Amino acid sequence: MTGRAVDWLLALAGGVLLTLMTLSNAVLARYTDAVYASWAAHGLGALVALILVVVVRRGRPKTPGDDAGRAPLWYYLGGIPGAFVVIVSAVAVNSELALAGTIALMLTGQVVFGIVSDRLGLLRIPRRRITAMDLLVAGCVLAGSVLIVLGGA
């Protein structure tokens, strides 16, 4: 299997897992509240991450330069937007939007943010011009999202 095919499969698997996570958090939020659902999701994620770090570190011999490649502490603040995403999506899924509308609008937001990030060079990526194809893709995703949201009403 080529590297490109693996990338596509991983992206599809990520989308499936995102949908399952959103649905699970929404169900949990329906029985508790959105903040509790977010804490549960991030607590479980932190526990799994800790286990993975321990397992990977044990399987790797320690070298003198290991501490030099550590990320600055502020990089770990990336979990804060993730927690807000879980809270907002749990609330949105339990609204009139339902799961399909929430996921569709989340994808629209990701595409638009990706285009803006490419243009402005955010997150240390090379700057890139916005092309007509970028706008066409964003328009199609937005149109599909509108159809999903309004079609479900």
75-99 pLDDT tens trace: 777 778 888 888 888 888 888 888 8
CB atoms within 10 A of CB 72: 7
133 Cβ partners below 8 Å, 6+ apart?
A: none
Provide the whole-model pTM.
0.67
| pLDDT for the residue numbered 89 | 86
Q: Which two tokens stand for residue 13?
A: 């698997």
| pLDDT for the residue numbered 27 | 92
Average pLDDT, the chain: 85
Distance CA 3, CA 27 (A): 36
| pLDDT < 70: residue spans in the chain | 1, 61-69, 152-153
| pLDDT for the residue numbered 123 | 82
CB atoms within 10 A of CB 33: 14
